[in-house]
Amino acid sequence: MSPPIGHVAPRETSRDTLARARARAALIPDLLVEAQRVANNVFAGWHGRRKRGVGENFWQFRPYVPGENMAAIDWRRSARDDHVYVRDREWQAAHMVWLWVDESSSMLFGSDRAIVPKQSRGLVLAFALAELLARSGERLGWLGVSRPIISRHAAERLGEALIAAPPQTEIPGAEYVRNFSDVVIFSDFLQDRETAESRLRALARQGARGHLVQIVDPVEEKFPYAGRVEFSDPESGEKLTVGSAQLLARDYGGLFADHIEWVRRLARSIGWTHTLHHTDRLASQALSALHVHLSQSAGRR
């Protein structure tokens, strides 16, 4: 069972941290392969985030609009029929997108109703998004772990940087984020609310446009337990045994619904987007939703 909402966990020991880092390092190669598969499935509907402007690469022909600079007319293309066409070029300034995946102990939770644990799904989504954005020439970084890079193999390079880093359990500070960057955070947001809100508002004050992907295991929301059940807090190791779990369902359901709404309201209050993703659903669903949000964000540049 995930920790109580707003729960503050004790610091884990250095041995625990090392064990978690090693376990994650062993998983990352397989997660990168899965991320590439997900990215390829979504790529057919991924139209990139290109924007018309000054650049060297050809983008498209479009009809000439009276009043435009006639020097932009492509006379060779226009000679093919009775229309006058302008040759548009692609905007060349690479945008900056920061990624971050919560690796708190609660993110390790995965029930028998989920496809994968929450942390694995968050990492796959982040790597898949990096794969797609790299194909569009975006500059990518991992908050608190990696410097910005531009590379066709950005997902692999970010994975290598993450392998060498300790588990990421707190939303990083805003010192590296600049105006007009995008920040995408994958988490269950079950950490201390005051700290999480403070970090997110600091990122927003830097001018970053953010996207919160809240990852939830289906049993966390539906609470399908009955009879005598022992619950274990993955953060503290504390255990709670109840004789009739169904008696807790109504109160728990209300608290968890409030938690999801708190994340949604927080995102809205700072001008960010919120995507709720369940781990019994396909990763491509959340990736497609992110595509829409990031494309809209690019259009407001």
Residue whose entry in the numeric block shows the structure tokens 């805003």: 174
Q: Under CATH, which number does the domain 14-49+93-299 receive?
A: 3.40.50
pLDDT at 4: 41
* Residue 77 pLDDT exceeds 70: yes
Residue type at 58 in one-letter notation: F
Please tell me whether residue 173 adopts helix, strand or coil conformation: coil
Question: What was the pLDDT predicted at 67?
Answer: 66
Enter the tokens of residue 199. Answer: 């970090």
Whether the predicted pLDDT of 2 surpasses 50? no
Query: Residue 264: pLDDT above 50?
Result: yes
Mean pLDDT of the chain: 84
Give the model's confidence band at 7: pLDDT under 50 very low, under 70 low, under 90 confident, else very high: very low
Interior angle at CA 251, CA 245 and CA 254, nearest 5: 130
3 state SS of 46 = coil
What pTM, to 2 d.p., does this model score?
0.78
Residues of the chain with CATH 3.40.50: 14-49+93-299
